[in-house]
Amino acid sequence: MQEKNYWPLGIIGVLLFGVFMVSVSITIALKNPIQDESTYFDTKRNVDERINEIIANQNLFNTLFSYTIWLNADKIHNLDFTFPYHAPSHRPDIQRGEIPKILANNVRLTFKLDKPSTDLKSITLFLDSPIQAGKLLNLGEFSTSDSHIFVSQELNNLPNGRWKFILELSFTSDSQDTPKKAYLESEVFIGDIAKDTSSQDSSSHLKNR
């Protein structure tokens, strides 16, 4: 009796499995498209090509302006904004500082220049997720009544969770210069501060018992 040859079936099986895996990969890619770069409001490719220009503009901004940014009118909650390129990595092995907690309502940011200047043209505030793509929200432009204090709109119904504020700053180095862009970001936890504080107090009380 002639023995059956299973090699053709094996080859067909491998080809069918390859077609199946390619179909699955294409389906996953279509459902999860590459997201544009949210921090610099451009595609990732364009940001990579312009990163030297972005850094140069940021360094120029840092030499022209010194400033303080705080939350609400009490000037207590100063926010430490950082140039996104210099922001700490989100790797778990890198220690990060404490992320400030803010309420979801009645939030207002103030940007104060140490020296008045007409070279700072505008500030626009955005809210973005540090861990999820496609969550960028435009929270509006800061208003100003003089040349050194810029105030955001009152923010209400902010989404709870871990987010980051992004500032897009338009400025010039002299009266004949074309406007340039600089960017600052600060991570925040948005939610009920009182509830978070009470839960921390109760947990510490249980530990001390």
Q: Distance (Å, rounded) from C-alpha 73 to C-alpha 79?
A: 13
pLDDT band for 201, please (50, 70, 90 cuts): very low
Letter for the amino acid at 14? Answer: V
CATH T-level fold of 36-199: Immunoglobulin-like (2.60.40)
Computed over every residue of the chain, the mean pLDDT equals 82
Phi then psi for residue 182, to 5 deg, are -130, 160
pLDDT band for 56, please (50, 70, 90 cuts): very high
